Structure 1
Amino acid sequence: MDFSAYSSAFSGLLVVLTTLIVQFIVANTGKARLPNHIPGKIDPSLGHESFVFRAYRTMENSLENISLFLGSAFLAILAGVNPVWTGFAVWIYALARIMHMILYYMISTEQNPSPRSYFYLLGLLANILLLILILTRLL
């Protein structure tokens, strides 16, 4: 199978993985600067007013979502789903996750839905699109 047609999807996946690395660095650097920090734990008294909490939750949210997305993306590629649509869905997900991250870093709110929620939903819809494309291809 010639995977060169999926270069757009692969570059979008690289952006997704790079975004996750950035989130990991920001979250752990911020947490390490707190007094009496314990590796692997976040102070339960922290809330949305704390950038450290928001950075940590951004990373955790990405970790909660990335396995399903990566599975969908690679299954789409291996199943031979249209490369243009696969790339489109991957890039929508990648950009939605970046916007989710930026808004979570910038806006301290417990309001629901918050502005970041719309980008979370957009990423979820991109993943659902991939799953529909896979199903269509396999049928």
Structure 2
Amino acid sequence: MDLAYSAYTAFYLYLVMLLVQWMLATFSKVPNAISGKIDDSLSHGSFVFRAHRTFHNTLENSALFIRTILFAFILNYPSPRSYFFLIGVLANLVILVTLGLRLA
């Protein structure tokens, strides 16, 4: 198996894991919950608490993880496909920033 294919597959699986964690953290709410706030009575034994913390821990590490992956792709794999991938990432970042500014 090609090393680049393995790297792309691992990155894809990471993004799928992030999506699954987001869905679990979003939809495993207690009744009458306030969006974005965790009930103070929840502790480590609660699935809602664990799902929420797992997702937020992943988010905290995602920026560094994704930057490291992109940096490795730039250094070790100077293929035209990498440049198009980075152009796509840049386009997505521009769209996310633009939407974020509009919502603010």
User: TM-score, structure 1 length as denominator?
Assistant: 0.52
1:29 to 27, 30, 36: 27
Amino acid at match of 1:18: V
1:38 to 34, 37, 43: 34
Where do 1:1-139 residues align within 5 Å? 6-31=4-29, 34-80=30-76
- Structure 1 gaps of 5+ residues are 82-139
- Structure 2 gaps of 5+ residues are 78-104
Which structure has more RCO (C-alpha within 8 Å, separation ≥ 6)? 1
1:5 offset after TM fit, Å? 5.2
User: TM-score, structure 2 length as denominator?
Assistant: 0.68
- Structural RMSD (CA): 1.5
Give the whole-Å Cα distance in 2 for the aligned partners of 1:35 and 1:7.
Answer: 43
Give the whole-Å Cα distance in 2 for the aligned partners of 1:52 and 1:21.
Answer: 16
Dislocated runs of 4+, deviation >6 Å: none
Larger Rg: 2
Amino acid at match of 1:68: L
**Partner-residue secondary structure (3-state), 1:67:** helix
1:51 offset after TM fit, Å? 0.4
Amino acid at match of 1:44: D
1:74 offset after TM fit, Å? 0.7
